[in-house]
């Protein structure tokens, strides 16, 4: 998925500001230039999406760059497109293999059972809480 981002150029005394118009409240900034600004806003987008999915919100589709460029509030901004890994949006189940010592696996299974979950659900919940 590719999101257009509006970048407010910085200076020696001001940071580069970045806004993601399609994701309300999603923004970032960087001191060292446009490359850092784009990297930081990519991280902000990924975190925004993760929180929205955890809260059951729908993820907005990216707008047309041309349409966004016409908006008065972005006059003087530089535009870029930030690509986000589509796997971040997927709830598809994927089978994986992991290798653990038997003692760790036994503890994992005991914890999962006491939580009323199977091994996979327990691991997934741990990862989401981390």
Domain borders along the chain are 2-89, 93-130
pLDDT digits (tens, 9 = 90+) for 85-122: 988 777 788 899 999 999 999 999 999 999 999 999 99
Q: How confident is the model over 45-79, as pLDDT tens digits?
A: 999 998 998 898 999 999 999 999 999 999 999 99
Q: Note the pTM of the prediction, 2 decimals.
A: 0.73
Q: Quickly count: other Cβ atoms within 10 Å of residue 82's Cβ.
A: 20
CATH number given to 2-89: 3.30.160.250
């Amino acid at each position: 998925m590719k999101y257009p981002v509006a970048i407010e150029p910085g200076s020696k005394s001001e940071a580069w500001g970045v806004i993601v118009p399609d994701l309300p409240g999603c923004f970032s900034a960087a001191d060292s230039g446009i490359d850092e600004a784009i990297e930081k806003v990519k991280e902000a987008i990924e975190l925004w999406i993760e929180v929205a999915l955890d809260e059951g919100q729908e993820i907005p589709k990216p707008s047309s760059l041309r349409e966004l460029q016409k908006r008065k509030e972005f006059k003087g901004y530089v535009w870029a497109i930030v690509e986000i890994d589509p796997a971040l949006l997927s709830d598809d189940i994927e089978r994986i293999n992991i290798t653990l010592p038997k003692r760790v696996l036994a503890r994992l299974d005991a914890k999962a059972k006491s939580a009323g979950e199977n091994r996979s659900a327990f691991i997934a919940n741990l990862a989401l809480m981390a």
